[in-house]
């Protein structure tokens, strides 16, 4: 039976207005709606498809504090078998990858899936770091994943085409759109999620290599300039001298 681990993140909804506190050094959680990272939902959906029909188990793992548990319960409602929460604030990608790697070393899996990136930081780092820490092949950003026996075939886009790789299990893979369609929890899944195991473990000590100095929001959009259809020369000048896009 296949054992799959899916790494999940708790991220702000894309419609949330983002603000910062403490002189722009801390993210302000007040009034923020958090969701399951959409790319992680894709990974979870594919994991559930691969283990459908009692062909294996799916464990989701999250590095986060107690406030992330509603997101974890949603993953269980979607179809994960069990969940693990490493009780720590996810300081950066290295911290998250290190915590997950230590868990996997003590609890091996056949396949480890992550989303291609989290939509809050868009770093795309965790899957590669996990592969290095676990000494496993790591492939990102994959658009297709199939398993045949003890080998996995993944497909990803490259410049001018696509790349298809066949790799012996176990591997780490960062999933993108196309791997699977996200699943919506049904009532049965929501009810069963309440009784599925959610194991909370304490983090291991990790040396910090990065520090957030400050956050900045994007500059506000300028006013729209309307150019008459017969003033093409003026439009070209503005695009060249002001917008600097040509």
Express each pLDDT in 97-144 by its tens digit.
999 999 999 999 999 999 998 888 888 889 999 999 999 999 999 999
Q: What is the pLDDT along the chain (246 residues), one digit of tens a residue?
A: 899 999 999 998 888 787 888 888 888 878 888 899 999 999 999 999 999 988 899 999 999 999 999 999 999 999 999 999 999 998 889 999 999 999 999 999 999 999 998 888 888 889 999 999 999 999 999 999 999 999 999 999 888 899 999 999 999 999 999 999 988 888 888 888 888 999 999 999 998 888 888 888 777 777 788 888 888 888 888 888 887 888
What is the rounded CA–CA span in Å between residue 21 and residue 18? 11
Q: How many CB atoms lie within 10 A of CB 146?
A: 12
Task: Indicate the domain borders of the chain.
Answer: 2-217
Report pLDDT for 199: 93
What is the rounded CA–CA span in Å between residue 81 and residue 4? 10
What is the rounded CA–CA span in Å between residue 57 and residue 110? 10
What are all long-range contacts of 203-212, with beta carbons under 8 Å and residues at least 24 apart? 203/63, 203/86, 203/87, 203/88, 203/99, 204/98, 204/99, 204/102, 206/94, 206/95, 206/98, 206/99, 208/91, 208/92, 208/95, 209/92, 209/94, 210/91, 210/92, 210/94, 212/25
Q: Nearest CA to 24 among 213, 215, 210, 211?
A: 215
Report pLDDT for 195: 87
Report pLDDT for 108: 95
What is the rounded CA–CA span in Å between residue 151 and residue 8? 24
Report pLDDT for 51: 94
Three-state secondary-structure class, residue 6: strand
Q: Is 53 exposed, middle or buried (0-12, 13-18, 19+ CB in 10 A)?
A: exposed
Q: What class does CATH assign to 2-217? A: alpha beta
Report pLDDT for 211: 80
- The residue behind tokens 């997101």 is 71
Q: Nearest CA to 180 among 49, 78, 37, 76?
A: 49
Tell me the sheet residues that pair with 5.
Answer: 59, 112
Report pLDDT for 31: 81
Structure tokens, 72: 């974890």
The pTM (predicted TM-score) of the whole model is 0.85
């Amino acid at each position: 039976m296949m054992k799959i681990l899916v790494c999940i993140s708790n991220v702000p909804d894309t419609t949330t207005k983002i603000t910062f506190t403490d002189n722009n050094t801390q993210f302000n959680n007040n009034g923020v709606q958090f969701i399951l990272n959409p790319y992680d939902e894709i990974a979870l959906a594919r994991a559930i498809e691969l283990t459908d029909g009692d062909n294996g188990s799916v464990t989701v793992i999250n590095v986060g504090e107690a406030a992330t548990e509603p997101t974890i319960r949603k993953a269980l409602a979607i179809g994960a078998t069990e969940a693990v929460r490493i009780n720590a604030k996810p300081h950066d990608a290295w911290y998250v990858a290190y915590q997950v790697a230590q868990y996997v070393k003590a609890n091996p899996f056949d396949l480890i899936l992550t989303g291609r990136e989290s939509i809050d930081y868009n770093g795309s780092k965790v899957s590669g770091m996990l592969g290095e820490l676990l000494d496993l092949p790591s492939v990102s950003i994959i658009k297709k994943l199939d398993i045949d026996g003890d080998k996995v075939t993944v497909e990803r886009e490259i410049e001018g085409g696509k790349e298809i790789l066949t790799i012996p299990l176990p591997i780490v893979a960062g999933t993108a759109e196309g791997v699977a369609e996200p699943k919506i929890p049904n009532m049965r899944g929501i009810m069963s999620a309440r009784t599925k195991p959610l194991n909370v473990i304490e983090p291991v000590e990790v040396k910090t290599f990065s520090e957030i100095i400050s956050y900045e929001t994007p500059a506000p959009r300028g006013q729209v300039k309307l150019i008459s259809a017969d003033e093409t020369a003026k439009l070209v000048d503005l695009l060249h001298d002001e917008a600097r896009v040509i």
